[in-house]
A and B are shown apart, each in its own frame.
Chain A
Amino acid sequence: MSAMRVTQADLVPLARGAAVLGGGGGGDPHIGRLLAERALAQHGEVDVVPVESVPADACVLPIAMMGAPTVMVEKIPSVDQIATALETLARYLGRTPTHVACMEAGGVNSTVPFVAAARLGLPLIDGDAMGRAFPELQMVLPTLGGIQATPMSIVDEKGNKGVLDTIDNHWAERLARSATIDMGCATIVSLYAMTGAQVRDNFVPGTLSLCLDLGRTIERARAEHHDPVRAVADRLGGRVLHTGKVLDVARRTATGFARGEAIVEGLGDQKGSRMVLHFQNEHLLAELDGQLLVTSPDLIVVLDTDTGEPVTTEALRYGHRVSVVSAPCDERWHSPAGIELVGPRYFGYEVDPVRFDGSTSAA
Chain B
Amino acid sequence: MRIGIDVGGTNTDAVLVDGTTVLAGAKAATTQDVTSGIVTALDSLQAQRPFDPAGVGAVMIGTTHFVNALIEARRLAPTAALRLGLPATSSLPPMVDWPSRLVDAIAGRAYLAHGGHEFDGRHITELDEDELRRHAGDMIAHGVRTVAISSVFSPVNAEFELRAAEILTEELGPDVAISLSHEIGRIGLLERENATIINAALRELATTIVDGLADSVAGHGIAAPLYLSQNDGTLMDVDYARRYPVSTFASGPTNSMRGAAILSGFQTCAVVDVGGTTSDVGVLTNGFPREATTEVTVAGIRTNFRMPDVLSIGIGGGSLVRATAGGVTVGPDSVGYRLTELARVFGGDTLTATDVAVASGRADIGDRSRVADLDPAFVAAALERIGADVADAVERMRTSSEPLPVVAVGGGSILLPDELPGCGTVHRPEHFAVANAIGAAIAQVGGVVDRIYSIAPGARDTVVDEARQEAVDRAVAAGADPSTVAVADFDEVPIPYLPGNATRIRCKAVGDLRMEQQ
Interface residues of A (CB under 8 A from B): 25, 27, 31, 34-35, 38-39, 67-71, 73-80, 135, 157-159, 177, 181, 184-185, 245, 247, 251-253, 256-258, 265, 280-281, 313-315, 317-319, 321
Residues of chain B touching chain A, judged by Cβ–Cβ distance below 8 Å, are 85, 87-92, 96-97, 116, 118-119, 122, 124-125, 152-153, 187-190, 293-294, 395-401, 452, 493-504
Establish whether residues B189 and A75, one from each chain, have CB atoms under 8 Å apart when the complex forms: yes
The verdict on A256 contacting B88 (CB below 8 Å), with A185-B118, A319-B398 known, is no
Q: List 22 A-B contacts (CB under 8 A).
A: A31-B92, A35-B91, A39-B91, A67-B498, A68-B496, A68-B502, A70-B497, A71-B119, A74-B188, A74-B189, A75-B116, A76-B88, A76-B91, A78-B88, A158-B87, A184-B118, A185-B497, A256-B500, A257-B497, A315-B294, A317-B293, A319-B397
User: Do B498 and A78 have beta carbons less than 8 Å apart?
Assistant: no
Q: Which residue of B lies closest to A313 (CB)?
A: B496
- Are A318 and B399 closer than 8 Å at their CB atoms? yes
Most chain A beta-carbon neighbours within 10 Å: one of B92, B124, B125, B152: B92
For A34, list chain B residues within 8 Å (CB): 92, 96-97, 190
User: Inside 8 A of B399's CB, which chain A residues have their CB?
Assistant: 318-319
10 closest residue pairs by CB, A with B = A318-B399, A157-B88, A258-B494, A253-B494, A319-B399, A68-B497, A78-B91, A68-B498, A184-B118, A79-B91
Tell me the complex Cα distance, A31–B88, Å.
13
Q: Tell me if B396 and A184 are in contact (CB < 8 A).
A: no
Taken together as a complex, chains A and B put the C-alpha atoms of A177 and B497 apart, in Å, by 10
Q: Are B119 and A158 in contact (CB under 8 A)?
A: no
Residues of A within 8 A of B395 (CB): 245
Expressed in whole angstroms, the minimum distance between the Cβ of B166 and any Cβ of chain A is 23
> Given the complex, which residues of A lie within 8 Å of B91, measured CB to CB?
35, 38-39, 76-80
A73–B395 Cα distance when bound, in Å, is 33
The answer to whether A253 and B501 touch (CB under 8 A), given A74-B188, A77-B91, A78-B89, is yes
Q: Is the CB of B87 within 8 A of A157?
A: yes
Residues of A within 8 A of B502 (CB): 68
Q: Which residue of A lies closest to B283 (CB)?
A: A319
Are B499 and A181 in contact, CB atoms less than 8 angstroms apart? yes
Contacts of B88 in A (CB 8 A): 75-78, 157-158
Task: Choose among A39, A70, A77, A257 the residue with the greatest number of B CB atoms under 10 Å from its CB.
Answer: A70
Give the contacting residue for B496; candidates A80, A157, A314; CB below 8 A. A314
- Whole-angstrom distance between the alpha carbons of A25 and B497 in the complex? 10
CB distance from A330 to the nearest CB of B (A): 23
Known: A185-B119, A245-B396. Is A253-B503 also a contact (CB below 8 A)?
yes
Contact (A74, B498) CB under 8 Å given A38-B91, A247-B400: no
Which interface residue of A79, A177, A252, A317 has the most chain B CB atoms within 10 A? Answer: A317
Q: Which residue of B lies closest to A25 (CB)?
A: B496
Q: Which residues of A contact B401 (CB under 8 A)?
A: 247, 265
Report yes or no: B496 in contact with A70, Cβ–Cβ below 8 A. yes
Residues of B within 8 A of A73 (CB): 187-190
| Bound-complex Cα distance A281 to B91 (A) | 27
A256 touches B501 (CB 8 A): yes
Tell me how far the C-beta of B293 lies from the nearest C-beta in chain A, rounded to whole angstroms: 6
Query: A74 contacts which of B119, B494, B496, B497 (Cβ < 8 Å)?
Result: B119
Indicate if the CB atoms of B496 and A75 lie closer than 8 Å: no
Instruction: Give CA–CA (A245, B493) in the complex, Å.
Output: 20
Once A and B bind, how many residue pairs between them come within 8 Å at the CB atom? 129
Q: Are A184 and B119 in contact (CB under 8 A)?
A: yes
Query: B293 and A76: CB pair below 8 A?
Result: no
Question: Given the complex, which residues of A lie within 8 Å of B497, measured CB to CB?
Answer: 27, 67-70, 135, 185, 257, 281
The verdict on A318 contacting B92 (CB below 8 Å), with A68-B495, A258-B495 known, is: no
With a cutoff of 8 Å between Cβ atoms, the chain B residues found around residue A31 in the complex are 92, 190
Task: Name the residue of chain B whose CB is nearest to the CB of A316.
Answer: B293
Look across to chain A and name the residue whose beta carbon is closest to the beta carbon of B290: A319
Contact A184:B189 (CB < 8 A) given known A78-B88, A251-B493, A258-B494: no
Decide if B494 touches A251 in the complex (CB within 8 Å). yes
Measured CA separation A88–B61 after assembly (Å): 59
Q: Which residue of B lies closest to A184 (CB)?
A: B118
Give, as a whole number of angstroms, the nearest-CB distance from B247 to chain A: 22
Alpha-carbon distance A27/B400, docked complex (angstroms): 28
Q: How far is the CA of A199 from the CA of B105 in the complex (A)?
A: 50
Docked pose: A135 CA to B499 CA in angstroms: 13
Chain A residues within an 8 Å CB radius of B494: 251-253, 258
- Please give me the residue from chain A that is nearest to B452 by CB atom: A70
| B499 and A281 contact, CB distance less than 8 A | no
Known: A79-B91, A245-B396; 20 extra A-B contacts, CB below 8 A, are A35-B92, A67-B497, A70-B498, A74-B188, A75-B89, A75-B119, A76-B190, A77-B91, A159-B87, A184-B118, A185-B499, A247-B400, A251-B494, A253-B501, A256-B499, A258-B494, A281-B496, A281-B497, A315-B293, A319-B399
> What residues on B are CB-neighbors of A75 within 8 Å?
85, 88-89, 116, 118-119, 124, 152-153, 189
The answer to whether B125 touches A70, judged by C-beta atoms less than 8 angstroms apart, is no
Residue in B88, B189, B293, B502 with the greatest tally of chain A CB atoms within 10 Å: B88
Contacts A34-B96, A258-B495, A258-B496 given; does A74 touch B153 at CB 8 Å:
yes
Chain A residues within 8 Å of B119, by CB: 68, 70-71, 74-75, 184-185
Set of chain B residues within 8 Å of A27, measured between Cβ atoms: 497
Question: Closest approach, in angstroms, between the C-beta of B302 and any C-beta of chain A?
Answer: 8
A residues less than 8 Å from B97 (CB atoms) = 34
How far is the CB of A24 from the nearest CB of chain B, in Å? 10
Report how far A35 CA is from B504 CA in the complex, Å. Answer: 25
> Nearest Cβ in chain B — how far from A243, in angstroms?
13
Nearest-CB distance from B161 to chain A (Å)? 14
Q: Find the B residue at minimum CB distance from A181.
A: B499
By a CB distance below 8 angstroms, the chain B residues around A158 are 87-88, 124-125
Residues of B within 8 A of A185 (CB): 118-119, 497-499
**Bound complex: CA of A35 vs CA of B190, how far in Å?**
12
Looking at the assembled complex, report how far the CB atom of B114 sits from the nearest CB atom of chain A, in whole angstroms: 10
Shortest A40–chain B CB gap in Å is 12
B85: chain A residues within 8 A (beta carbon): 75
Neighbouring B residues of A318 by C-beta, 8 Å: 399-400
Instruction: Return A137 CB to nearest CB of chain B, in Å.
Output: 12
B493 CB contacts on chain A under 8 angstroms: 251, 314
The closest CB in chain A to the CB of B501 belongs to A253
Q: Are A76 and B124 in contact (CB under 8 A)?
A: no
When C-beta atoms are compared, the residue in chain A nearest to B309 turns out to be A319
Q: Which residue of A lies closest to B491 (CB)?
A: A317
Contacts of A77 in B (CB 8 A): 88, 91
A26–B90 Cα distance when bound, in Å, is: 23
How many Å from the CB of B204 to the closest CB on chain A? 30
Residue of B nearest to A260 (CB): B494
Instruction: Find chain A residues with CB under 8 A from B87 CB.
Output: 78, 157-159
CA distance A315 to B91 in the complex (A): 26
**If the complex has contacts A34-B96, A315-B293, are A78 and B152 also in contact, measured as CB distance less than 8 A?**
no
A252 to B501 alpha-carbon distance, docked (Å): 9
Q: Distance in Å from the Cβ of B148 to the closest Cβ of chain A?
A: 16
